[in-house]
């Protein structure tokens, strides 16, 4: 049963229930992209995981790192249900996907005040086989007047942004061969060319699939690959549009419209435990792939219908879960496994040759985004650090404890405000200069 409720009460805590406090699963939450070409987002929005252009970058004319008293200004906080879906923001609306008891809930809040606008609920019976967390993993995508969500059991939904009413919903497990993988289905939808694309996983040519944004009908599917925990990205290289999927088998470069595979490149764990969680990073005509479990990093160069390795290595920048960011010929991200202890290192690597420019292990692993030339690092311990994206070293200019532990969901940055969540709550910080 699906329930849509328009919220008039400004206090979210009246209807939010107790939170599942299980440890998060070993996976990276996936990312999303809005309709391309016809439905561009506002420059200061964060409508999808990994940001406006799906590359962890955005701009701000008034970013402030001189936090009063050493702490950023907290605008509001809200309690949440379980899950590892990150927030997205468009046109002053914040969307968050979480779980309350036996329902997955999509909540729309005022991004400035936290006041509820509407919520959409549907029943779920998902149980994590490892006991980590039973909530949704994928981050929603706001595209035009619609919101796309992907639940842990594989329910792909399209909601109307204005009021949360359901436009359509499809259970991708109906696709032959689909399964829930290790930690449930976690591919944040990619919306491009009038289609919404996800990793489904399974045989009979159903590894990746695309559904019509208007009615949810299956338009194409391809590969027999099992699903990884990376989300696809869209990019144009030499006037050709690609949808890049990083499955458990490796990279698939597909035509977003037809599903035709332009090329594939195997990049799989040596010990069979691969989750391939970090999304591909595209810069120019090159693609950075990175994974853990003995797989390592590789840069591929696209040449027409073919791709060739440019450099590779497991000693450079092997991302376990979190996607790296490319900036001015450098790659910034976390190297090493993070589920076997605090062993990951924050690194800067020369994207041209893979040379490690610096490596630091002074704080826990986490995720990173770039605002102008500033890196914002949110650690798994809930600490926010900010500093220049420098080829010499990372020196935090500001840092503060903003959340609890076990932070895996990616944050959002929109209109100078930083939105982030941990296992139990959502917080919004004002990182703008005074008076802005």
Flag whether pLDDT at 158 surpasses 90: yes
Q: Does residue 436 belong to any structural domain of this protein? A: no
Q: Is residue 238 part of a domain?
A: yes
Are 408 and 61 within 8 A, CB to CB? no
As a three-state string, the secondary structure of 253-316 is EECCCCCCEEEEEECCCCCCCCCCCCCCEEECCEEEEEECCCCEEEEEEEECCEEEEEEEECCC
Among 21-35, 140-154, 231-245, where is mean pLDDT lowest? Answer: 21-35
pLDDT single digits (tens) 290-323:
998 889 999 999 998 899 999 999 999 999 989 9
Q: Which band of pLDDT confidence, cut at 50, 70 and 90, is reported for residue 172?
A: confident
* Residue length of the chain: 436
**Interval 214-226 mean pLDDT:** 94
Q: Which two tokens stand for residue 215?
A: 């009615």
Is 143:35 a contact under the CB 8 Å cutoff?
A: yes
Indicate whether 223 belongs to any domain.
Answer: yes
> What pLDDT does residue 28 have?
34
pTM of this prediction exceeds 0.75:
yes
**For residue 189, what are the domain limits?**
2-430
Q: Say if CB 174 and CB 166 are below 8 A apart.
A: no
400 versus 202: which is more confidently predicted? 400
The verdict on residue 283 lying in a domain is yes
Indicate whether 425 belongs to any domain. yes
Q: In Å, how far from its chain's centre is CA 436?
A: 28
Contact in structure between 199 and 137 (CB atoms under 8 Å): no
Q: Is residue 270 part of a domain?
A: yes
Within a domain: residue 435? no
What's the pLDDT score for residue 32? Answer: 33
CATH of the domain at 415: 2.130.10.10
Helices (H), ranges, 106-156 = none
Confidence at residue 38, expressed as pLDDT on a 0 to 100 scale: 35
Per-residue confidence (pLDDT) for residue 36, from 0 to 100: 36
Check pLDDT > 80 for residue 79.
yes
Give the count of domains, the chain.
1
What pLDDT does 435 receive?
58
pLDDT one-digit tens code per residue, 5-49: 444 433 333 323 332 333 333 333 333 333 333 344 455 899 998
Q: Under DSSP, is residue 3 helix (H, G, I), strand (E, B) or coil?
A: strand
Mean pLDDT within 52-76: 93
- Which of 126-130, 280-284, 335-339 is predicted least confidently? 126-130
Whether the pLDDT of residue 373 is over 50: the answer is yes
pLDDT band at 275 (very low <50, low <70, confident <90, very high): confident
């Amino acid at each position: 049963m699906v329930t849509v409720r328009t919220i008039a009460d400004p206090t979210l805590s009246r209807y939010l229930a107790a939170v599942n406090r299980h440890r998060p699963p070993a996976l990276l939450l996936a990312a999303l992209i809005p309709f391309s070409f016809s439905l561009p987002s506002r420059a200061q929005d964060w409508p999808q995981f990994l940001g406006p252009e799906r590359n962890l970058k955005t701009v701000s004319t008034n970013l402030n790192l001189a936090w009063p008293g050493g702490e950023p200004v907290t605008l509001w906080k809200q309690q949440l249900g379980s899950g590892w879906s990150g927030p997205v923001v468009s046109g002053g609306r914040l969307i968050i996907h979480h779980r309350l008891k036996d329902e997955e809930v999509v909540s729309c809040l005022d991004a400035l005040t936290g006041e509820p606008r509407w919520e959409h609920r549907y029943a779920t019976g998902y149980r994590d086989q490892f006991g980590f967390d039973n909530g949704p993993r994928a981050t929603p995508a706001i595209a035009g007047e619609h919101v796309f969500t992907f639940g842990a059991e594989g329910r792909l939904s399209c909601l109307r942004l204005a009021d949360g009413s359901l436009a359509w919903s499809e259970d991708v497990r109906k696709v032959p061969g689909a399964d829930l993988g290790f930690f449930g289905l976690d591919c944040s939808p990619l919306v491009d060319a009038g289609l919404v694309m996800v990793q489904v996983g399974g045989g009979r040519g159903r590894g990746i699939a695309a559904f019509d944004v208007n009615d949810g009908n299956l338009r194409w599917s391809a590969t027999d690959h099992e699903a990884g925990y990376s989300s696809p990205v869209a990019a144009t290289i030499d006037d050709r549009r690609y949808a890049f999927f990083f499955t458990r088998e490796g990279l698939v470069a597909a035509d977003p419209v037809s599903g035709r595979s332009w090329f594939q490149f195997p990049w799989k764990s040596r010990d069979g435990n691969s989750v391939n969680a970090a999304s591909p990073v595209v810069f120019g005509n090159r693609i950075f792939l990175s994974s853990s479990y003995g797989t390592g990093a590789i840069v591929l160069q696209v040449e027409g219908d073919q791709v060739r390795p440019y450099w590779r290595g497991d000693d450079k920048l092997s991302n376990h879960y979190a996607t790296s960011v490319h900036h001015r010929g450098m790659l910034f991200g976390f190297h090493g496994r993070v589920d076997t202890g605090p062993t990951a290192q924050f690194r800067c690597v020369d994207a041209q040759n893979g040379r490690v420019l610096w490596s630091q292990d002074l704080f826990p692993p986490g995720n990173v985004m770039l605002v102008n030339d500033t890196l914002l690092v949110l650690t798994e311990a809930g600490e926010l650090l900010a500093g220049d994206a420098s080829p010499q070293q990372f020196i935090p200019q500001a840092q503060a404890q903003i959340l609890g532990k076990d932070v895996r969901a990616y944050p959002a940055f929109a209109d100078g405000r930083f939105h982030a969540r941990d296992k139990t709550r959502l917080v919004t910080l004002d990182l703008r200069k005074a008076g802005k």
